[in-house]
Structure 1
Amino acid sequence: MTPADLSLTVLQAVRRAVDEGALRVDVPARVKVERPRAGGVGDYASSVALGLARPAGIDARDVAAVLKERLDDRPGIARVDITGPGFLNFTLERDADGELIRRIRAAGPSYGHSDALAGTRVRFRTATEPRAALLTDTVVRLLHAQGADAGTAEDGEPIHVLPGAYEPLALGTDAARWALLRPAAHDQALPGAPLLVQHERNPLFRVRYAHARATTLSRNAGQLGFGPAYDHPDHPVDESRLLTLLGDHPAVLLSAARHRAPDRVARHLEAVADALLAFQHTVLPLGDEKPSAAHRSRLALAEAAGTVLAGGLSLLGISAPDQI
């Protein structure tokens, strides 16, 4: 069970409790799950009960108890605990993280694509202003990735962003697209010059560099005679953060498609890249150290992160080089 699956399962429990009359609240649009903080237990936690307590008119721990009754028997969840003022804590059935890594490896760059919006038909007015044309093109990509029937008025006619129509386009396609797509649609485009600098202060460079690092780690591991094999080791903080972000990727893509917001994908890719770069130095053995199960698991996680970065950049129309 991935974090996205768990989020949907908890949301279904809320809806079931409302349908059965156990809670009288409006069902939220989504439920956030994250790694437990200090005092928590298990693999993931949610504060949904605290948010529902006031509108329900009952104590948050009582709300949590109502939801726990409807979550205890769910497949993929080994145990549900209530901690603190009403946090729900979930212990997943063993190898949940391994399942996530295998799912990403199987799907490749299409991980996170779904048919969630199948049956939805969306048509956009043809845009002539460069940024509007680019946003339309990218949103159509995102909608297609979620199964929607999306396009512009002239179906089948490609949308092109013409060089010179907007100053950052002179920087090259990748930098120009990031400059226009990374800010929210109502915000100004990013200045172009900083996006050309190969430095950690440049978020586009970090994202593309992180993908290149994942590729390099795989190549170097092969030269050392070992490959990826996720064995569910104990996770340091950096690895747990990365696993959570990879699990959230499908939900981010669906949210970006629904809200016509490519900037959500860009921000998510930045977070994935930063988490990968934070733990990359632990992937390969050091000195005379022999490759271990932990190294194989870290390599599998790094490769999965590289896959997510490549898929996300592709949806934004940006290249993911193997070397920088």
Structure 2
Amino acid sequence: MTPADLSRTVLHAVRRAVDENALRAPVPARVRVERTRPGGSGDYACAVALQLAGPAGLPALEVARILRELLAAQPGVRRVEITGPGFLSFTLDAPAAGDRAVLDAVREQGIAYGHGDVLRDEEIRLPYAPEVRAAVTADAVRRLLAAQGARVRISCEGAGDPEWGRLGVTATADAHGTPPAPHTPLAPPAPLTPLRPVPAGATAAELLERLGSDAARWGLLRPASHDRAPLGDDLLVQGEANPFFRVRYAHARARALTRNAAALGFTSTTGAVPYGSPARPLLDLLADHPGVLLAAARHRAPDRVARQLEAVAHAFFDFHDSCPPLPSGDEKPSAAHRSRLALAEAAGTVLAGGLSLLGIRAPAHL
């Protein structure tokens, strides 16, 4: 990781903290990092916490702690320490080590990559309005919270629609998440905040007849809950202008790469060669994925997952076109092809896992 890479990583963490309401401060245009002076700690130091403390209305040490949580697991960063009045000091990994760790984690955890137990001591009740968009949103939020270890119960505030079942929803459902640690008392149930997104303006039967379950769920979940859900026939268009198609096509293309590589007699290998700049946006998105899932669960915002999947699909196609994972013509498979295939497969796995949390299928063929 170069100083420029580290500066971008810190700036990205600041943006995430602001987006997640952990910090209330303007995001600076750039963040400066410097080589640690003799006698200092780590490889680089950054004073951004001191810069943000005043606008955020928080002590610099508290700002530094918020940012350290977001930065500690970033690829290429071995350790983050807080020194002095609030400086962040970074010790970096060898350049390829962080990337390899991300890809190994995706390969090991599969579609559960990004799941965790941060919310394991929480018991959450989610009432929702008797309307199809609220029902689908509650189901997706239940899945997201359970994936972070919470115990969740959703319940409709009125009479449910039997057609919701064809959208993967039941009027009342439980998700148990991760059992709490022994002798750890559960947190009191959070105050009830009913889910009432802007209504869909259509019934489940109407949406199912016109769009089918998968496209209907995407159309209902992709916009933020306070925005109207566009539910036109463009959700069914098989073209680049349709984000829903693009996400599922990226997954299907990643699966096809694995099949085609097997036919050529080779498989993927993580970290065989450095990935280089064309892969950086995709690697960064895969590294950010666990944080996106946790934020989506905490904020009851499945739209964040949908936007993340769109970004992964876009970065996947950019990488695929710049660095083809398969050899062409008489070219023999090389270490670079094996590494590129590993990255493409990881992208496909993340897309499949994210779609699953939204209750949407990820076909291997489109």
- TM-score normalised according to structure 1 size: 0.74
Aligned-partner Cα distance in 1 for 2:34–2:263: 39
Cα offset for 1:269? 0.2
Checking the alignment, whether the CA contact within 8 Å between 1:231 and 1:297 is kept in structure 2 is yes
Cα offset for 1:237? 2.8
Cα offset for 1:50? 2.7
* Pairing partner for 2:146 from 129, 135, 144: 144
* Pairing partner for 1:109 from 111, 129, 132: 111
Equivalences for residues 122-271 of structure 1 within 5 A: 122-153=124-155, 161=164, 165-166=203-204, 167-169=206-208, 170-271=210-311
The secondary structure found in structure 1 opposite 2:164 is coil
Unmatched 5+ residue regions in structure 2? 1-5, 15-20, 24-29, 36-43, 81-86, 167-201
- The alignment status of 1:91 with 2:131, answered yes or no, reads no
| 1:139 partner amino acid | V
* Pairing partner for 2:340 from 298, 301, 309: 298
Aligned-partner Cα distance in 2 for 1:147–1:191: 32
Aligned-partner Cα distance in 2 for 1:321–1:41: 47
Checking the alignment, whether the CA contact within 8 Å between 1:40 and 1:89 is kept in structure 2 is no
Who is 2:22 aligned against?
A: 29
| 1:161 partner amino acid | W
Who is 1:317 aligned against?
A: 359
Checking the alignment, whether the CA contact within 8 Å between 2:45 and 2:90 is kept in structure 1 is no
Checking the alignment, whether the CA contact within 8 Å between 1:231 and 1:294 is kept in structure 2 is no
> Residues 50, 214 of structure 1: CA spacing in aligned structure 2 closer, same or farther, 3 A cutoff?
same
> Residues 206, 288 of structure 1: CA spacing in aligned structure 2 closer, same or farther, 3 A cutoff?
same
- The CA RMSD over aligned residues, in Å, is 3.8
The secondary structure found in structure 1 opposite 2:92 is strand
Q: Percent identity?
A: 50
The secondary structure found in structure 2 opposite 1:308 is helix
Out of 276-285 and 100-109, give the one that drifted further: 276-285
Per-residue CA distance 1:131-174 (angstroms, 9 max, x = gap): 001111110000000000111248xx999626771554331011
Aligned-partner Cα distance in 2 for 1:185–1:48: 37
| 1:280 partner amino acid | H
Cα offset for 1:203? 0.1
Per-residue CA distance 1:267-308 (angstroms, 9 max, x = gap): 000000111111224111111211111100010111111000
What is the number of equivalent residue pairs in this alignment?
Answer: 278
Per-residue CA distance 1:62-116 (angstroms, 9 max, x = gap): 99xx99xx99xx8974588xxxxx9977632452211111111111101100001
Aligned-partner Cα distance in 2 for 1:262–1:248: 16
Per-residue CA distance 1:39-76 (angstroms, 9 max, x = gap): 9799xxx997435425369xxxx99xx99xx99xx897
Unmatched 5+ residue regions in structure 1? 12-27, 31-36, 81-85
